[in-house]
Chains A and B, each alone.
Chain A
């Protein structure tokens, strides 16, 4: 069976995530026939309006993973958050390749490198939900609401959390 380096590394990460899953995270390939397409579930961090929620996201890996980072997109219900595009795509420094720093505010250590992993991405996204980064809003509307009308923002997030669980 001729497996590429990327497939082997992804399989290795899948195994680690299954045998030793981090708190509040479930992730793996949708089907092992395509190791480059994963789905992940993240629990909303406690003490935030996202608490109690579960958020699904798809991860698409490039063929040269882990040299290049995957892309991550929330699916099945929007995530109302300053760093998540209205279409669900996550904008976070760990998903940006080292050479790509259009805004010159990210440290190289925060960005993607092969030392990072799916687990680290998902943990970073979890903490991003708790603490939005106001410097680079992907959802300008949500960022504005978060800054100026915090209680309205939190109520909207809580409503979406319940809606996501079919309540």
Chain B
């Protein structure tokens, strides 16, 4: 697992309080990990802070799975 993926996973586990084994690449934040819309905003803010990037709203909307976040942050970080 890449460094970015590890950091993303850590943030997701911390923020959503989910079992680490559930945080797989294809896991959907809302459907699989029980996030609500506020959680997804919090996750995006946490990613921004961790990776020192700004994630515009239209990009944030496309980040729905753990894999989406890793892909986006690998490109921009």
Binding between chains A and B: no
